[in-house]
Amino acid sequence: MITLPVADGRPGLEGLSQLLHAHGVDFTLVHGGVGEVQGRPLGSVTLELRGEARAVETVVAGLTAADRVEAGAR
């Protein structure tokens, strides 16, 4: 599982669909909450990733690259 931020102007979910599709990884939304703070989206989503172990590891590495870690991916 991986938890990703949802924040206005942050890259947490940017490119997620393409990354998952490119590696044949599927997901289930386990938990999420997004609200508005001063008119901007803020929250997080937790995903369960499914696929071949190496493919899942590659997706996680792509989601936790430096720019995404800065945005709060864990």
pLDDT tens by residue, 6-61: 877 665 567 788 899 999 999 999 998 888 888 888 888 899 999 999 999 999 88
Contacts of 62 (CB under 8 A, 6+ apart): 19
The structure tokens 């008119």 sit at 39
N residues, the chain? 74
Find residue 49's DSSP bridge partners: 27
Task: Quote the pTM value.
Answer: 0.71
Find residue 46's DSSP bridge partners: 3, 31
Domains of the chain: 2-71 (3.30.70.260)
* E strand residue ranges, 1-74: 2-7, 26-37, 40-50
